[in-house]
Amino acid sequence: MAVLAGLSREAYLYAVAKWIQDKSVEPELLYRIYLMVGELAIKHKWRVPKDKELLRGLTQLAIIEMVREPRCPHCSGNKCKRCGFTGYLWLNESEKARVVGIDRASWFRRWSKRYPIVRKIQSYESEVFDKLRGERI
Ligand SMILES: [Zn+2]
């Protein structure tokens, strides 16, 4: 798509996954974010348990939250009390721990504080919007 030309590869994949909902780009997006999470882990000297696919779990969680925006099962996105009238039901802390593949205790002790750093490297949304703003449609 010409309108997305000039974006970083990650932002491009993110835009396609999110707005066109093309699931075929998700493996590459997952892989690229996974590499960045790996770099973060090295940079911040995170000790990652060897028997768990924790970094992959963190990547998975970030993608679920950013790309999929889980629709509220109670109202199917029509906005109700259960989802705070947003139409989306975000994962609670226990569910996040489960996606990452660790127990609640280690999620709270360590990884819930590190996770926002993982989310922050994905500033693709603003990259895409900045690009679109410059285009005349
Ligand atoms: Zn709802």
Residue span of the structural domain in which 42 resides:
2-133
Q: Give the C-alpha separation, 19 to 69, whole Å.
A: 11
Report the separation in Å between the CA atom of 21 and the middle of ligand 1, taken as the mean of its atom positions.
Answer: 21
Q: What was the pLDDT predicted at 10? A: 87
Å from CA of 80 to ligand 1 middle: 4
pLDDT, residue 8, reads 87
The count of domains in the chain is: 1
Entry pTM: 0.76
Output the CA 71–ligand 1 centroid distance in Å. 8
Ligand 1 centroid to 65 CA: how many Å? Answer: 16
Whole-number Å distance, alpha carbon 87 to ligand 1 midpoint, is 5
The predicted structure's pLDDT at residue 108: 94
- What string of pLDDT tens digits covers the 137 residues of the chain? 567 778 888 888 888 888 888 889 989 988 998 998 999 999 999 988 877 789 999 998 888 888 877 788 888 889 989 888 888 887 889 999 999 999 999 999 999 989 888 777 667 777 887 877 776 65
| CA–centroid distance for 17 within its chain | 11
Which residue blocks in the chain are alpha helix, DSSP H? 9-19, 26-43, 54-63, 93-100, 104-106, 112-120, 124-133
3 state SS of 46: coil
Q: Output the CA–CA distances (angstroms, integers) from residue 10 to 22, 32, 52, in the order listed.
A: 14, 7, 26
